[in-house]
Structures are given as C-alpha cells and as structure tokens.
Structure 1
Amino acid sequence: MPGWLHELSVLWLAAFVFGVALVVAAAIYATVMSLSSGERGRAFTSISPGMLPPMGIVFALLVGFLAAQVWSSGDRAAAAVSEEASSLRSVVLLSSEFPGEPGAQMRSLVRGHIEDAVTKEWPQMSEQGVTLSVVPQPVADLLTMALALRPETPGQTIAQGEIVTSLEQALAARRQRIIVSQSSVNGAKWGAVVTLAVLTLFAIAFVHSGNRGGAAIAMALFAFAAAAAIVMIASQERPFAGPFAVSPTPLVQVEPALPG
C-alpha cells in the first residue's frame, strides 16, 4: 500500500477507501447492468447464487490471515519497545552502585540513546528506513564502559554483570523492533484481497442482474464491508506508522527518571 496512506488519520483513510470501494462498485454495477440484456442477461441470471457464500468465505479467510499478521507484528513491536525500556531502566538503577563520574556518565549515555531513538529512529522506522548496520553509539560506549569498570565491592561486581546483561538485552530488543518495523502486507496479499473483492462484486451483480435494486443494495453492502476490512488492516499494516503506530512512550518514561 502506498506510504502516503499511512500518514492519513483513520477518518481520512476510511473516507478514501470507502470512496474507492463505492466508485468501483458503481462502475461494476453500471457495466454489468448495461450488458444484462438479451442472451447475455439470461446467462447472467442463470449463474447460481450458491457461488456467493464460498467466495465470501474465501474473502473472509484472507482478511483474517492479514489481520492476524498485522496484529502479531504490532504486538511484537510493542513488546520489543517495552523490553528495551525495561533493560535501560535496569541500567539506570544499577548505575547507582557506581557513585560519582562512572554512574553519572552511564546515565548520560542512556539518556543520549533514548533521545536518538525517539528523535531519529522513530521517524525513520515509520518510513521503514532503519537498518541493523549501525549500532547506536551511546549503547556501544555504555557497553565498553561497563566492561572497563573496576568493581571495588561484591555489590559492584554483581551490578557490573547485570549492567552488561541489561545492555545486551536492550540491544537485542532494539534489533527486534527494527526488524519488525520492516514488516508490512506485501503486494501479492493486497492484490489477492482486492481481486477477490472485485470478483465477488461481479458475481453479486451477475446473480442479481434481474433485480437492479436488489443488486445495488447487495453490492453496496459488500463493498462497504470489504472497505471496512481493508481500512482495519491498512491502518495497522506498519507497526511504527499510521494512526495506531507503536509509540516510544516506554522509552520516554525512562528518561525523566535520569538524574542530570
């Protein structure tokens, strides 16, 4: 689906999709009704209404599969962000075991990573432009610093190990959110849904070609139902874009807790 659609609000996205659905249904209706005369009309009305339920079931199954995909991607994205925030929060708490400059520097690096993630990575993830080729410098510096610490007490020894583990978990969670940010419904799946919806509209028009009023009502009902399903999927297709995008709130909630 075009990227600009993900920038629309739900209302504008719905207006666009419902409008297109209505135009397509009207065009199919006009085409079929203009051809439903004479021998062609008898051929159209001879089509069994029994073919409509299987087509509707196949359409519903496709929509269900796509909905499951986008919802799963959204859940994985939210879980990755929460895991990253939790790991960074652990680093902040454990840094208090190292008073003075080491602890303050660790907290400053955590703040730097969060600010970069929110201001740089999030807009890029919404456009699927972030890759795993670059490791965030603040986290890399944090890991180097944590490994270079010289614990003076048993508590600091334990804290050092936990900080390193938490940083590894934060990096793994970041990798996961970047991978998930690349997910979307590919063109083949969208093509299958749209094609089946159009074919079903044609089938409805053929079956009800002898009753123009009934055909118009049935086609409008199916067109609006198909549009509602498409809006539901399109509005959540990309986990970090659109009106239901995963927000960096868990990370932002870590930052205010950081001392200067």
Structure 2
Amino acid sequence: MTTFDWGAYDHYGFALVALAGTALACLGLGLILASPRHRPRLAGLAGVAPPFINIIGVLFALTLAFLANDTWSAHDRAITAVTREADALDAIGALTRSLPDTTRRPIEAAVGAYAVSAVEIEWPQLARRVAAPATAAALERLLTLAADPGLGAPLGPAVHARLLTEVMAVRDARDLRVALSQTHVNPLKWLGMAFLGFVTMLSVAVVHVEHPRAALVAILLFAAAAAPTAAIVLIQGNPFQRPTTVSAAPIAARIPPAP
C-alpha cells in the first residue's frame, strides 16, 4: 500500500488554505459589518477616502505578480532545460557518427540508455521531487565513454572537446530540471501576500463602512479575483506536476527504435 507524499504536493495544500482562508475572512468581515452590535463602533471609522484602497491594493497586486512570475519563470526554465538536454543528446550522436562501429555503438547505446532512464524512470519521480539514481548512473556511463582519451585520435582534439562539452551540457540541463522539480513553496512570501490581501479587504470594508451591503459586495468581488488567482499560481509550483507538466517528448524522441 503506497502512502501519499504530502511534502511533494505541499503547494496544493497551500492553495486550499488560500481559498479557505479567503472564504473565512469574507464570512468574518460580513458578520461584523452586518452586526447591529458593532455598527456604532464602525460608524466612527467613516470618512476614509476611497482612493486609499489603491495604495494597499497595488502592494498586494505587485506581490502576487512577483510570485506568479517566479512560478512561470521556473516553468519556462524547465522547458528550456529539457530542450537543451535533448539537443545535447542529438549533438553527441552527430559528433560520434564518424567513429568506427566498435567505438560508436557503445556511445549510442549509452545515449539511448540515458534517454530511456530519464523518460521512463526519472520523469514520474520528478513529480514527487525525487531524482532517479539509475538515470545518474546512465549519465555517468555516458560521460566515462566520452572522456576516453582514445577518442582523441579518430575524432580530433577539437571534436573530442566539443563532445565532452555536449555531455556536460546534458548533465547541467538534468541538474537544472531536477533542482526545479525540488523547489518548494516559500511560506514567508505567501504569508506576506496573504497579509496584504487581508489588509486590502479591511480597507475595502472601512471605505464602505456606512453601507454594509456595498462593503460586502466589494469584499466578495476582491476575494473572487484574488483567491482563485493565488490558488492557480500555487498549484503550478512544480513544473513536473499536473496540471502544467513539462513534457518529456524532446528526450523521448532520442530513444532509439526497438530492433
């Protein structure tokens, strides 16, 4: 029986907290605004100018925009890393094409074994923020073959150096996608965003304190815009998890056909 790894999917939990917390804040503010017992005290808050909302609202919007940019930037970097990894595997094949069969075939087999391991073994594990030792071992095997000094004579020093560069590019691209898959939500950043969101809701309530119904409508409209947006950003925290999983197709295309 497999257990669900909550640590690997913490951003879904934070998204749920964002939605539930916003709903509770709306409910609490709505009850306070509608309560006759609090109305005399709230009346003393009247007079705050409506443009005051813009100051806090802009701070909230900028904070959420920066957090969203971090998330989508990580997704773009993951796509770039996968594409670079696949291109480097292609380059290795092109650089070794002129080698004798006895020398070329082990390298081609190592490239194919790495691509198979990366796609079939490591890719599913990236969603759980785990790297596959088998893929690291396959890459180490490829690097060992490419670093063989005996390749210097048939390839030439310049081509051999380029071959090593491309193998190192595969390693760097893999390291980057593994690192991006292991990025967790920063609770302090999102706590600051949540605090600004709540203060924005308070400012909306204060500005409309003389009109409880209008205040409640304004609060609900803000919540309807802010909470789902924050949740959408949060659930995309890992570029190798649904709903925006980075595809392994570029590397899968480098898997040699079955004989």
* TM-score interval, normalised by the smaller of the two chains: 0.7 to 0.9
* Aligned counterpart, 1:37: 39
In the TM superposition, 1:160-171 aligns within 5 A as 160-171=160-171
In the TM superposition, 1:1-260 aligns within 5 A as 3-4=8-9, 21-34=22-35, 36-38=38-40, 40-130=41-131, 136-148=136-148, 150-151=150-151, 155=155, 159-256=159-256
- Mark the runs of 5 or more structure 2 residues left unpaired by the alignment: 1-5
Query: Deviation of residue 242 (structure 1)?
Result: 3.0
TM-score, normalised to structure 2, is: 0.82
Distance 1:15 1:188 in 2: 17
- Secondary structure at the residue paired with 1:96? coil
1:66–1:185 contact (8 Å) kept in structure 2: no
Distance 2:130 2:194 in 1: 27
Give per-residue Cα distances to partners, 1:54-102, cap 9 Å, x unaligned: 1101001101111221122122211111111111111122332224233
Give per-residue Cα distances to partners, 1:234-256, cap 9 Å, x unaligned: 13222222311322221112214
Distance 2:226 2:75 in 1: 22
CA root-mean-square deviation: 3.2
* Number of matched pairs: 253
1:22–1:224 contact (8 Å) kept in structure 2: no
Give per-residue Cα distances to partners, 1:181-210, cap 9 Å, x unaligned: 233440011111112112221222232232
Amino acid at match of 1:141: R
Distance 1:108 1:48 in 2: 71
Give per-residue Cα distances to partners, 1:157-202, cap 9 Å, x unaligned: 6543332221111111112222222334400111111121122212
Instruction: Indicate how the Cα distance of structure 1 residues 152 and 205 shifts in structure 2: closer, same or farther if over 3 A, else same.
Output: closer
Instruction: Report percent identity of matched pairs.
Output: 26
